[in-house]
Amino acid sequence: MSKSLSITASSVDPGILTLPWSTTLGEWPSSHIVFLPKGISRHLVRFANLSGRVVAIKETTEEMARREYDMLGNLSRLDAPCVERVAVIAGRVDAAGAPLPAALVTAHLKFSLPYRALFTQVLRPDTATRLVDALALLLVRLHNVGFFWGDVSLSNTLFRRDAGAFAAYLVDAETGELHESGLTRGQRLHDLDVARTNIAGEIMDLEAGGRLEGGVDAVAIADGIVSSYHSLWAALTDQETFRADESWHITERVRKLNDLGFDIGEMSIEATVDGTRVSIQPKVVDAGHHQRRLLRLTGLDVEENQARRLLNDLDEFSARVSRLGSDEDMVAHEWLTRVFEPVVQAIPFDLRAKLEPAEVYHQVLEHRWYVSQANGRSVPLAEALTSYIDGVLRHRRDEATLMGPPTETMTLPIQVLGDAAIEADEDEDVDWRDLV
């Protein structure tokens, strides 16, 4: 390895030195490459094994690699949904001393999928709509912290399942700009127009490849991000005026934002001179309302819709079963140990890479409802869980690090590391009678 190699890393990982940096990424041996689907990129991107985890490696210029590395760090500090930066590798040369491109290394987001891997044969309209809605929410969150993306697209986004919906993560920040003073309306609308154009092209590309369900209107799907974005942005930022004796509007506004998954950190309230009317406008809005509540109560760190669903189940448990009264923290601990954890621990070890635990629990609840409807009775959770494992989960593909169907956007195959699945204690027994 050349002595000129320069590594800038967010944490020290000696394993990074063992990767073949003196070889161009396109010629890396299969022993280092992991078989994962990826989005379309203007740069060469491949996945590799690094100390037992999977990382994405992108060849680019040193300037662009360092810029994106810094940007991902800033976005992470702002709690924006994005991939985790790992390192910048510069000063690469081959065996003959010829310079090689710099490389940006980011961590693979477990249980995430590029949009092309979210369907087996064809993309259904409802799936496309949910992807666009997730991207609209991501764009609103990024704009809310002053990030101008510049190249919004499905290809530059990763998606994780989120209790029937999707959660979107930024995966390519090389064109982005962070503005501490916030974005102008023109900047926001430019991002939105780029998003609409790119999405329409990506959906049409699927249609041309025969991977889109018949009758789907690609332009109509792309237009959906515009309406979804404007609706969310208005809910977060619009000023509202009401009579002074209608102060309940303040509580209503807070509840509406909470329902959308946001918390108000600060609100501007102004009254007219004669005191007859009051205006309110959210000033600091943070995403993750339900995530934070669930994390505080149970220690579970999940997606927003998953948190909402788990909190609903916790509330139902409190009303139906709990003997601990109104102490929310104690009820949450009882629900966690008596309900959630036994379900997760009951999943056979070889199936634990199928879906993340919170998504499994959500799907078990959904399955229980459908089975109960079909049988005309309330099916016990243990019975529904057995039916779900054997009839549904066992037939899903793994999504911890997806071994998906071959496409033109796949890297070369090798066996995915076994520890990419969720770590769990195989020896821990579950008493099925404890499942309520």
pLDDT in tens, 296-355: 999 999 999 999 999 999 988 888 776 656 688 888 999 999 999 999 999 999 898 888
> Comparing C-alpha atoms, which of 66, 118, 112 is closest to residue 90?
66
Q: How confident is the model at residue 204 (pLDDT cuts 50, 70, 90)?
A: confident
Tokens of 41: 């990129």
Tokens of 281: 């406008």
The length of the chain, given as a count of residues: 436
Report d(CA 48, CA 266) in Å as an integer.
Answer: 44
Q: How confident is the model at residue 3 (pLDDT cuts 50, 70, 90)?
A: low
What is the pLDDT, as a whole number, of residue 428? 36
pLDDT in tens, 29-80: 988 888 766 656 677 889 998 988 899 999 999 999 999 999 999 999 999 9
What is the pLDDT, as a whole number, of residue 38? 60
What pTM, to 2 d.p., does this model score? 0.79
Q: For 160-169, what is the mean pLDDT?
A: 90
Q: Is the pLDDT of residue 123 over 70?
A: no
Q: Which CATH number fits domain 113-237: 1.10.1040.10, 3.40.50.12500, 3.40.50.300, 1.10.510.10?
A: 1.10.510.10
Q: What is the mean pLDDT of the chain?
A: 84
Q: Is the pLDDT of residue 416 over 60?
A: no
pLDDT in tens, 250-266: 888 888 888 888 888 88
DSSP letter assigned to residue 339: I
Q: For 161-184, what is the mean pLDDT?
A: 92
Reduce the secondary structure of the chain to three states and give it as a string.
CCCCCEEEECCCCHHHHHCCCCCCHHHCCCCCECCCECCCCCCCEEEEEECCEEEEEEEECHHHHHHHHHHHHHHHHCCCCECCEEEEEECCECCCCCECCEEEEEECCCCEECHHHCCCCCECHHHHHHHHHHHHHHHHHHHHCCEECCCCCCCCEEEEEECCEEEEEECCCCCCEECCCCCCHHHHHHHHHHHHHHHHHHHHHHHHCCCECCCCCHHHHHHHHHHHHHHHHHHHHCCEEEECCCCHHHHHHHHHHHHCCEEEEEEEEEECCCCCEEEEEEEEEEECHHHHHHHHHHCCCCCHHHHHHHHHHHHHHHHHCCCCCCCHHHHHHHHHHHHHHHHHHHCCHHHCCCCCHHHHHHHHHHHHHHHHHHHCCCCCHHHHHHHHHHHCHHHCCCCCCCCCCCCCCECCCCCCCHHHCCCCCCCCCCCHHHCC
Q: What are phi and psi of 303, to 5 degrees?
A: -75, 165
Q: What are phi and psi of 189, to 5 degrees?
A: -70, -30
Token pair 């249980």: residue: 111
- Each domain of the chain, given as residue ranges in start order, spans 6-107, 113-237, 240-287, 290-434
Percent of the chain with pLDDT over 90: 49
Q: Which residues of 347-384 are buried (b: 16+ CB within 10 A; e: fewer)?
A: beeeebbbbbbbbbbbbbbbbbeebeeeeeeebebbeb
Q: For 20-25, what is the mean pLDDT?
A: 94
Q: Is the pLDDT of residue 112 over 90?
A: no
What is the pLDDT, as a whole number, of residue 384? 92
Long-range contacts of 181-188 (CB under 8 A, 24+ apart): 181/146, 182/146, 183/143, 183/146, 183/147, 183/148, 187/148, 188/143, 188/233
What is the pLDDT, as a whole number, of residue 337? 93
Q: For 367-387, what is the mean pLDDT?
A: 91
Count Cβ atoms within 10 A of the Cβ of residue 290 and give its class: 0-12 exposed, 13-18 middle, 19 or more buried: buried
Bridge partners (DSSP) listed for residue 264: 285
Report d(CA 254, CA 195) in Å as an integer.
Answer: 29
Q: Is the pLDDT of residue 230 over 90?
A: yes
Identify the CATH class of 6-107: alpha beta
Q: Is the pLDDT of residue 235 over 50?
A: yes
Bridge partners (DSSP) listed for residue 99: 93
Half-sphere exposure in the Cβ direction for 97 (13 Å, CA): 0
Report d(CA 339, CA 325) in Å as an integer.
Answer: 17
